[in-house]
């Protein structure tokens, strides 16, 4: 199985180059708007596209992936809410284990069902520790996953969870307050996770401004994910992309 995309994340982390991922929720982005959104994101220098959602009601993930791929060669990575979102037309899939929760179906259950499908596909499968963090209000992710997010002000819980994920062999960590969260993961929490593991860290949920994106990078995030803010106003992508690509990790708080 290819590890091209994971290796590129590791490489960028080594070079201290942070990246911007655009999250496309196929339910929230009508296909007729998608082409414009993807074009604008590419002009702004976005690095990759995540596709998926905690709950999808329209059966259009394949069309969505194909529409993105018709516009760009940047990686399209499935960020699946369930096994029904596995699709071979993408480049990679985040094989998410919801390690912040205690729901066995999302720790290993869905994975067993997906494994034989993935075995027959070309898709790069990236073992990812997914950590939901309280972002001020319940989100679709917290409700549908039937798990309790890590309290916002408990960085040490996040750090210990991240360490456990690394010892289990996970290759990537995703800290997320969920789509449309009131506020993003705190710098304190990102720093605590950064200090405890040497894996690439993805941070998303509730990021709406260049300052919030830059703060996450400064604290140690390697990939910043933005969805809702761009669904509402794609012109924001230019300044957020600039913030992500010009800010550096800083050891000093
Ligand atoms: C959600 O991390 C993503 O899983 C992005 O969140 O939609 O709030 O940007 P937003």
Q: With 80 as the cut, is the pLDDT of residue 252 above it?
A: no
Closest to 135 measured CA to CA, from 155, 150, 157 = 150
Q: Is residue 148 part of a domain?
A: yes
Q: Is residue 237 part of a domain?
A: yes
* pLDDT value at residue 63: 95
Q: How confident is the model at residue 58 (pLDDT cuts 50, 70, 90)?
A: confident
Q: Is residue 93 part of a domain?
A: yes
Q: Is residue 205 part of a domain?
A: yes
Q: Is residue 223 part of a domain?
A: yes
* CATH number of the domain residue 178 falls in: 3.20.20.390
Percentage of the chain beyond pLDDT 70 is: 100
* pLDDT value at residue 80: 96
Q: With 70 as the cut, is the pLDDT of residue 36 above it?
A: yes
DSSP state of 1: -
CA of 80 to the centre of ligand 1 (A): 13
Containing domain of residue 141, as a range? 17-247
In this structure, the residues whose C-beta lies within 6 A of any atom of ligand 1 are 23, 176, 178-181, 204-207, 225-229
CA of 42 to the centre of ligand 1 (A): 19
Q: Is residue 38 part of a domain?
A: yes
Task: List pLDDT tens digits, range 121-159.
Answer: 999 999 999 999 999 999 999 999 999 999 999 999 999
Atom of ligand 1 at shortest distance to CA of 184? 8
Task: List pLDDT tens digits, range 151-168.
Answer: 999 999 999 999 999 999
CA dist., res. 30 & res. 35, Å (int): 10
Q: Is residue 34 part of a domain?
A: yes
Section 93-113 average pLDDT? 98
Q: How confident is the model at residue 1 (pLDDT cuts 50, 70, 90)?
A: low
CA of 225 to the centre of ligand 1 (A): 6
CA dist., res. 78 & res. 91, Å (int): 8
Q: How confident is the model at residue 183 (pLDDT cuts 50, 70, 90)?
A: very high
| Displacement of CA 22 from its chain's centroid (Å) | 9
Q: Is residue 9 part of a domain?
A: no
The total of structural domains in the chain comes to 1
∠ CA 142-21-46 to the nearest 5 degrees? Answer: 155
């Amino acid at each position: 199985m290819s590890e091209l995309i994971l290796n590129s994340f590791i490489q960028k982390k080594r070079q201290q180059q942070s990246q911007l991922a655009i999250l496309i929720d196929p339910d929230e982005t009508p296909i007729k708007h998608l082409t414009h959104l993807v074009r604008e994101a590419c002009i702004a220098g976005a690095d990759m596209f995540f596709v998926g959602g905690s709950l999808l009601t329209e059966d259009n993930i394949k069309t969505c992936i194909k529409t993105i791929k018709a516009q760009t060669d940047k990686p399209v990575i499935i960020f699946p809410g369930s096994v029904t979102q596995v699709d071979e037309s993408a480049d990679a899939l985040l094989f998410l284990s919801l390690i912040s929760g205690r729901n066995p179906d999302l720790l290993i259950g869905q994975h067993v069902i997906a494994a034989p499908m993935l075995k027959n596909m070309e898709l790069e499968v990236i073992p990812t520790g997914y950590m939901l963090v309280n972002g001020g209000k319940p989100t679709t992710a917290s409700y549908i996953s039937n798990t309790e997010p890590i309290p916002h002000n408990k960085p040490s819980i996040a750090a210990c969870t991240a360490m456990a994920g690394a010892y289990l062999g996970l290759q990537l960590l995703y800290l997320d307050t969920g789509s449309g969260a009131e506020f993003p993961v705190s710098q304190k929490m990102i720093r605590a996770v950064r200090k405890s593991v040497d894996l690439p860290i993805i941070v998303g949920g509730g990021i709406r401004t260049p300052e919030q994106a830059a703060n996450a990078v400064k604290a140690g995030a390697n990939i910043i994910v933005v969805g809702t803010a761009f669904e509402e106003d794609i012109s924001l992508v230019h300044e957020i992309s600039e913030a992500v690509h010009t800010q550096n990790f800083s050891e000093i708080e």
